[in-house]
Amino acid sequence: MIFGFGKRKDEEPEEEEEEEIDYVLFNGPVNGTEVNLKANARLAEAALIPAKELVTDGLSRRAERIRLEPKGKAGVVTLSVDGQAYSGGKMPAQQAVAVVQMIKLLAGLDIKERKKPQTGGIKAQFQEVPYELTVAVAPTPEGERLTINARNLKVKMDTPDDLGFTPWLKEKIREITGAKQGFLLICGAPFTGVTTTSYVVLRTVDAYLYNIYSIADVGTRELRGVTQYEPVAGETLAQSLQRIKRIEAEIIFADPLKDAETAKTYAEWADQFCFICEIPAKDPAGAIQQMTQWIGAAATAEHLKGVVMPKLIRTLCSSCREAYKPNPKLVAKMGLPPETTLLYRPPAPFEPEKPGDPEPPPCEQCGDVGYAGRAGMYEMVWMSEEMKQLVASGKATPDAIKAQARKDKMQSMAQEGLRLVAQGKTSLEELQRVFKG
């Protein structure tokens, strides 16, 4: 860790050769607000370098999320790397407060407001790689919690192939949206790629064949082939949909569904448009149940066309993964393709052949974690005739929905995971860890 925090004032600093640190560059707020460092000179003097150290340390360790939270006399840093939490160290509480204020200023947020949640973003660059840092600040009993989500803008997650959509998934999405009616929903647990998946589901639709409009707040994302609808001041959602219909829209990308009123309004227009949007549910069965609560069982059976759920799994490090021949009985038991003769796993811990043998340097790509990056797995439940009848009956419990999906041979998350194992992208151990969680 590059922090220099935690020394007592009476400690003599150790003499050591100064190392030039390649700090992250902050290039202004995403919202275009001008940052006046001169007007906040004392804050900048106290916290600009520590704020850079915080973000630099996280990005250098491949963290997609950096969290700074006040706990007693310290600010505790937690890093999320490929979905796994790691300690990012501590800093004195007073310095943590200053760092949070500094990041708020750099993100174009109100540094005087400490009682309400705020969100913003910072354009940044680290080691010649551009990043977008999404900043969220929330009050806690002990102060403010800072969360920074880092998006590497060189890593493209825009197309179905970028996310690893299989041919069957792309074909099913196109089949559903081609009818130009109903709901195609995306659900999943937080931080599993739900929002990115929703954008890529939209990109799966052929923009040359259909008139696609967005009524969602897409932030800085660019949606090629999609027209952003600009509502008239004071008009209701129903009035917006009426206007969109007059300009011959066929598919609508909408903000996440969060309440019954919005869901009912969309349902009234579900025979005119195909709505693509997120829904707060952990899995497709939960999404179906939520829709039945909001618009009723009959309307859900009629208008809901499909639910996509992503799940992220760590991918093996391509530099240090180890190949092995699996036992044929294990291959059969796990349901892997019978032709599977080679699988991969993380490297085994170093064991010297004789005392005193030097340990090899850590893997430069993954730091000896054995994994670097994540891949998406996707489950989709669609409304077959049997599934429609089940939902319309009002007896669609989660277990009943899952049982019907198996009967209809819908692609399951477990099958997706085994596909990635067979391809050598991940390990059986990682697959077991993800499904235990």
Check residue 9 and give its pLDDT.
Answer: 40
Task: Spell out the alpha helix ranges (H) of 296-422.
Answer: 297-303, 328-334, 385-392, 398-407, 413-422
Check residue 20 and give its pLDDT.
Answer: 67
Structure tokens at 319: 């530099």
Structure tokens at 282: 């952990």
Reported pTM: 0.83
Could you give the percent of the chain with pLDDT greater than 70? 95
Is the confidence at residue 5, as pLDDT, over 90? no
Task: For Cα atoms 154, 160, 164, give the angle at the middle one, nearest 5 degrees.
Answer: 85
Q: What is the C-alpha to C-alpha distance for residues 88 and 355, in angstroms, rounded to an integer?
A: 33
Is the confidence at residue 8, as pLDDT, over 50? no
The residues, any chain, with a CB within 8 Å of residue 236's CB and separated by 6 or more, are: none
When pLDDT is cut at 50, 70 and 90, the band that residue 19 belongs to is low
Q: 140 — alpha (psi -120 to 50), left (phi > 0) or beta?
A: beta
Residue 116's identity, in one-letter code, is K
What are the φ and ψ backbone dihedral angles of 126, each rounded to 5 degrees? Answer: -140, 125
Could you give the percent of the chain with pLDDT greater than 90? 79
Q: What is the C-alpha to C-alpha distance for residues 386 and 391, in angstroms, rounded to an integer?
A: 9
Dihedral angle of Cα 188, 190, 191, 194, to the nearest 10 degrees:
40
**Would you give the end-to-end CA distance of the chain in angstroms?**
29
Cβ atoms within 10 Å, residue 400: 15
**Edge-first strand listing for the sheet containing 118-126:** 25-29, 118-126, 129-140, 143-152, 65-71, 74-81, 84-92
Q: 276 — alpha (psi -120 to 50), left (phi > 0) or beta?
A: beta
When pLDDT is cut at 50, 70 and 90, the band that residue 437 belongs to is low
Comparing 186-190, 261-265, 385-389, the range with the smallest average pLDDT is 186-190
**pLDDT, tens digit, 9 for 90 and up, residues 130-172:** 999 999 999 999 999 999 999 999 988 889 999 999 999 999 9
Nearest-Å Rg of the Cα atoms of the chain is 25
Is the confidence at residue 17, as pLDDT, over 60? no
When pLDDT is cut at 50, 70 and 90, the band that residue 357 belongs to is confident
The residues, any chain, with a CB within 8 Å of residue 362's CB and separated by 6 or more, are: 368
Q: What is the C-alpha to C-alpha distance for residues 194 and 424, in angstroms, rounded to an integer?
A: 24
**pLDDT, tens digit, 9 for 90 and up, residues 47-63:** 999 999 999 999 999 99
Task: For Cα atoms 11, 15, 19, give the angle at the middle one, nearest 5 degrees.
Answer: 120
Is the confidence at residue 10, as pLDDT, over 60? no
Structure tokens at 391: 């939902």
205 within 8 A of 173, measured Cβ to Cβ: yes
Comparing 15-29, 174-188, 246-260, 319-333, the range with the smallest average pLDDT is 15-29
| pLDDT (average), residues 380-395 | 96
| pLDDT (average), residues 290-294 | 97
Check residue 78 and give its pLDDT.
Answer: 98
254 within 8 A of 265, measured Cβ to Cβ: no
When pLDDT is cut at 50, 70 and 90, the band that residue 96 belongs to is very high
Structure tokens at 187: 């659900």
Q: What is the C-alpha to C-alpha distance for residues 174 and 179, in angstroms, rounded to an integer?
A: 9
User: If you average pLDDT over every residue of the chain, what do you get?
Assistant: 91
The residues, any chain, with a CB within 8 Å of residue 286's CB and separated by 6 or more, are: 187, 398
Domains of the chain (ranges; CATH) run 25-152 (3.30.450.90), 167-313+373-436 (3.40.50.300)
| pLDDT (average), residues 199-211 | 94
When pLDDT is cut at 50, 70 and 90, the band that residue 1 belongs to is very low
Check residue 24 and give its pLDDT.
Answer: 96
Residue 20 or residue 90, greater confidence: 90
| pLDDT (average), residues 172-194 | 94
Dihedral angle of Cα 364, 365, 370, 373, to the nearest 10 degrees:
160
412 within 8 A of 309, measured Cβ to Cβ: no
Check residue 18 and give its pLDDT.
Answer: 52
